[in-house]
Amino acid sequence: MGPQAASLPVVDTRRLAACGPTFMFELKKLSSDAIPSALEKANRYRLLNEPGAAESIYLDVLAIEPDNQEALKNIILAMSDRFGKDYAVGDARIAEYIMRLKDDYQRNYYTGIMYERRAKATLGKGGIGAFELFRQAMDCFEKAEAMKPAGNDDCKLRWNGCARIINANGLGPRDMPHDFLE
């Protein structure tokens, strides 16, 4: 051990873990006029593949403006960006933000994105259940298509993307044993 290492205190991390956190920081509130630049910064973090940093900023925005539709849509995207990165992000947590979107088209579209991204992450980890997740996404995109704004075919583009992945990977429904309920 070098001279610097010898002077550092030894911490029993087992004891700390048993005690839990010793303090919590109170989060600082954004000012309303800072929200547009905060959203821009969060969007940049998403583009830089830093969804955790983006999510934190969206949470700050939503603390001030709980119905901010841009922040709600983007926190859904940031959270689902993390599916393939072994972060524990639950669908129920994302669904909470989806339900706060103001129109049915947006709710169906973003639910579809959640399922699509979960399916892609599942496919990357062996694929068990990926087909069913892609089909759930496609069902949501079809519901969104029925109520889409004129000139907006985003739901068709997403549906086609799912279909191409299913076709390219030869995915199909899982065979479920029939005798366990009989």
List pLDDT tens digits, range 35-76: 999 999 999 999 999 999 999 999 999 999 999 999 999 999
For the segment 151-166, the average pLDDT, to the nearest whole number, is 98
Distance between CA atoms of residues 175 and 26, nearest Å: 50
pLDDT (0 to 100) of residue 39: 98
List pLDDT tens digits, range 79-123: 999 998 766 677 889 999 999 999 999 999 999 999 999 999 999
Alpha-carbon distance values, 7 to 10, 13, 14 (Å): 9, 18, 21
Of the candidates 134, 157, 143, the one whose C-alpha atom is nearest the C-alpha of residue 98 is: 143
List pLDDT tens digits, range 132-154: 999 999 999 999 999 999 999 99
Tokens of 64: 């001030």
The hierarchical CATH code for the domain 32-102 is: 1.25.40
Q: Report CA torsion sign: 95, 99, 104, 106.
A: negative
Tokens of 167: 């076709």
Distance between CA atoms of residues 156 and 16, nearest Å: 52
Alpha helices in the chain (DSSP H): 3-6, 13-19, 35-47, 51-64, 69-81, 91-98, 104-124, 130-145, 154-169
Tokens 């990165």 -> residue: 85
Check: CB of residue 171 under 8 Å from CB of residue 131.
yes
Mean pLDDT of the chain: 89
The DSSP call for residue 135 is: H
pLDDT exceeds 80 at position 175: no
